[in-house]
Structure 1
Amino acid sequence: MKIQQLIYEDKTWHKQDIKTGFTPQLVLLFASKSALLDANCYESLKSSYQDTPVLGCSTAGEILGERVYDDAAVATAIQFDHSTISHASVTIDSAGESFDKGVELSMMLPQKDLKNVLIISDGQNVNGTTLIEGLKKHIDHDVVVTGGLAGDGSNFEETLVVANDHPKPGLIVAIGFYGSKLQIGYGSAGGWDSFGPNRKITKSEANVLYELDGKPALELYKTYLGEEADNLPSSALLFPLTIRDGSSADTGKVRTILAVNEADNSMTFAGDMPEGHIAQLMMANFENLVEGAEDSAKHAITEIIAKNEGEKLAILISCVGRKLVLGPKTEEEVEATKQMFDDRTTQIGFYSYGEISPQFGTGSCELHNQTMTITLISEG
């Protein structure tokens, strides 16, 4: 496997290194929405890789190596020695279509020798939970499904997806990775702590939460936010909710808010908020978040066969909420992951509105929020 990285500066793509005989099968593009709205950003990259699919999305921050950028564009071109890729895309108009769109995507990808499906989805008009449920319908349980939801900084207005064409809202892309020598590692970890009382979800519909303990959810949430309530929905990223099934051994999933509705006191989340589940507020500190990023990298490494000295690609998808908490120290979490990998591992990624990865222990793919999620790709 050979990898080439680029960054878009002064209206020009700059290659980090020059490779000869380089014929990549895939280019990943992650950029701020403002950068993607500059037509030259996509067009000039595509002109450099005319025969290669360029796939990606808008972000809440761009990761290249050990750096985190704002309002930039980064790209990575990948040439496999023994493996192949395919990609498919669908349009989505509302979150209610998420399950059906997941099923549609799962049927569009060839299944033979499929090892990993990387999902890059619109971040506003989707229910990540039901999207994943749909994807599972026709994808074998041994296939690792990872990915994330596009971002729009902390604006939560409109996200864009690149499906080998000019960026557009309302798209979901699935990238399939194939080959007998392909090795896929994954990891997902948080670093958030629960606090305050447990509250029961008493009224919800899919990913829209109306009531906790029989009281309007948004009003209750605002009492905890105090002055920060004026900055909703972005301020909610500082205090996500963890939800769990109180009748089982469920360890819980973190959910963050995508939108609020003052008219009916509801909150829309990136994934389902099932009635009867227990919800609890969460908060974070700097040390725990960085340790969570390290844990994610450690787990990803364990999935790769030992003594693999070839080149590897680590795709980092972290949550915009983590970035808001870490502030000027955000780069420390990507530095922490890089230190866990060997010197032949290249990092690229973005800050998202939701992360997709198998759960620790069960291996079942889930939507996560407020996590650092890593997909580690290598050829044995």
Structure 2
Amino acid sequence: MISKTIKGNSTETIIKEIDEATSDGFKPTLAIVFLSIKQDREAVSKVLDDKGIQIFGATTAGEFIDGDIEEGSIVIMLLDINHEYFKLLFLETGEQSTFENAKQLGSEGKNTFKNPAFIIVSGWLSKDGENIVEGITEGSGGEVTIFGGMAGDDMFLTGPIAFTHGKSSAKGLIGLIIDEDKIEINGIATCGWKPVGTTKTITKSEGNVVYTIDDKPALDMIMKYLGVEYDFDTGKEIVTQIGAYYPLQMERENVAPVMRTAMLANREDRSLICAGNVPQGSKIKFSLPPDFDAIETVIEECKQLKDEYQQEADALIMFSCISRHLSFGILMSEEISQVQKVWNAPMVGFFTYGEFGKSKTGKHEFHNNTCCIVALKEK
């Protein structure tokens, strides 16, 4: 399987890049398309569809290709994967719930391949992250490979979109179902964040809204404990300070903690709105702001994945939380480039509003503040 990555700041540039990439006889069948919400995704989709290339797409909160970070652009990975080895399915939450859609996706995968793997992108469905994983797992009849991310919208927080040719929606779920008997897929969800302080309890929550921690208003608790300020006039400090630098770590027995990002705050009831469910009764710790050690942890876990499971890759896809970009700053490019060098294969990715994947000691689940890397290799 051959993969080639291209990028551009306009549809016209992408047309030229596709023509150049295919000038040597390369005939891609699938395009992984990650682009800014400001770009004309319908025009880009038409260009690819006219060439007979299927589309797995998402809007982003920033894009990257190989070791380079882009903003407001279009990045594409072109793959010449055999049509018989994959299937695309696009579903939209509406008459059916997100869980029912995800269950349908899982069932379709099992009916199509004996051993299906799922690479997924969802739209603005942050309350349904766990439902997506549970639905796919139930539909496919057991634990299966699931990696992916929630689309972004350049931090406008109004409606990130999942799309394919002729279909797009902020409530969309697109699944790239791959035959694991033909394509080797391995991945890992890793973050490197270090916990700090004593274990605390979520004493009141509903879905992704946390009302109290140790019976104290959640916002007041985290502001006092971490010494951060919340600017209610701009409404943005909760994202850049608490969400990016101080994610919550939900503790579990014998497995890695799962991260939860505080995206917004309610000034009236002092609650935190997280990018994923935080069940009442959960045990949590706060996190230290990241340093270079966090990057080294991510790189080391990728190296372990390579050594133990997949020494070579034809293509790499990365889903990295936008909060990592906000907190790491210029160090983010170091993490991306170093991960790409682990396999030295073409890589495409984007900054997400949530990630799907399996940690070193956990199961496939929904994450925040996490880097999910997927390696693919034709058998």
TM-score range, shorter chain: 0.7 to 0.9
Instruction: Report if aligned partners of 2:64, 2:350 keep a CA contact under 8 Å in 1.
Output: yes
What is the deviation of 1:305? 4.8
SS of the equivalent of 2:152 reads: coil
Counterpart residue type for residue 342 of structure 2: M
- Which residue of 2 is the match for residue 43 of structure 1? 46
SS of the equivalent of 2:377 reads: strand
- Which residue of 1 is the match for residue 188 of structure 2? 187
Over residues 181-207 of structure 1, what are the superposed CA-to-partner deviations in whole Å (9 max), with x where a residue is unaligned? Answer: 321111221111112332211111222
C-alpha distance in structure 2 between counterparts of 1:104 and 1:4, whole Å? 31
Counterpart residue type for residue 326 of structure 2: L
Counterpart residue type for residue 374 of structure 1: I
Instruction: Report if aligned partners of 1:36, 1:167 keep a CA contact under 8 Å in 2.
Output: no
- Which residue of 2 is the match for residue 9 of structure 1? 9
Match of 1:282 among 274, 279, 287: 287
- Which residue of 1 is the match for residue 32 of structure 2? 28
What is the deviation of 1:179? 5.1
- Which residue of 1 is the match for residue 355 of structure 2? 355
Unpaired stretches in structure 1, ≥5 consecutive residues: none
User: Once superposed, what is the RMSD of the aligned Cα atoms?
Assistant: 2.5
Counterpart residue type for residue 86 of structure 1: K
Over residues 294-345 of structure 1, what are the superposed CA-to-partner deviations in whole Å (9 max), with x where a residue is unaligned? Answer: 1342244246455x5xx61110111111101121232111111122114xx1
- Which residue of 1 is the match for residue 342 of structure 2? 340
C-alpha distance in structure 1 between counterparts of 2:321 and 2:40, whole Å? 20
What is the deviation of 1:267? 2.2
- Which residue of 1 is the match for residue 53 of structure 2? 52
TM-score by length of 1: 0.88
1:155 equivalent to 2:156? Answer yes
Q: Indicate how the Cα distance of structure 1 residues 229 and 291 shifts in structure 2: closer, same or farther if over 3 A, else same.
A: farther
Q: Indicate how the Cα distance of structure 1 residues 86 and 58 shifts in structure 2: closer, same or farther if over 3 A, else same.
A: same
1:256 equivalent to 2:261? Answer yes
Counterpart residue type for residue 188 of structure 1: A
Aligned length: 368
C-alpha distance in structure 2 between counterparts of 1:316 and 1:288, whole Å? 20
C-alpha distance in structure 1 between counterparts of 2:194 and 2:75, whole Å? 32
Q: Indicate how the Cα distance of structure 1 residues 233 and 130 shifts in structure 2: closer, same or farther if over 3 A, else same.
A: farther
Structure 1 stretch 78-87 or stretch 142-151: which is displaced more?
Answer: 78-87
C-alpha distance in structure 1 between counterparts of 2:36 and 2:10, whole Å? 15
What is the deviation of 1:253? 1.0
SS of the equivalent of 1:330 reads: helix
Instruction: Report if aligned partners of 1:243, 1:254 keep a CA contact under 8 Å in 2.
Output: yes
Instruction: Report if aligned partners of 2:10, 2:73 keep a CA contact under 8 Å in 1.
Output: no
Instruction: Report if aligned partners of 1:111, 1:139 keep a CA contact under 8 Å in 2.
Output: no
Q: Indicate how the Cα distance of structure 1 residues 202 and 104 shifts in structure 2: closer, same or farther if over 3 A, else same.
A: same
C-alpha distance in structure 1 between counterparts of 2:231 and 2:200, whole Å? 20
- Which residue of 2 is the match for residue 323 of structure 1? 325
User: Identity of counterpart residues, as a percentage?
Assistant: 22
C-alpha distance in structure 2 between counterparts of 1:114 and 1:19, whole Å? 35
Structure 1 stretch 329-338 or stretch 213-222: which is displaced more?
Answer: 213-222
SS of the equivalent of 1:284 reads: coil
What is the deviation of 1:283? 2.5
Q: Indicate how the Cα distance of structure 1 residues 222 and 373 shifts in structure 2: closer, same or farther if over 3 A, else same.
A: same
Instruction: Report if aligned partners of 2:48, 2:54 keep a CA contact under 8 Å in 1.
Output: no
TM-score by length of 2: 0.88
What is the deviation of 1:346? 1.0
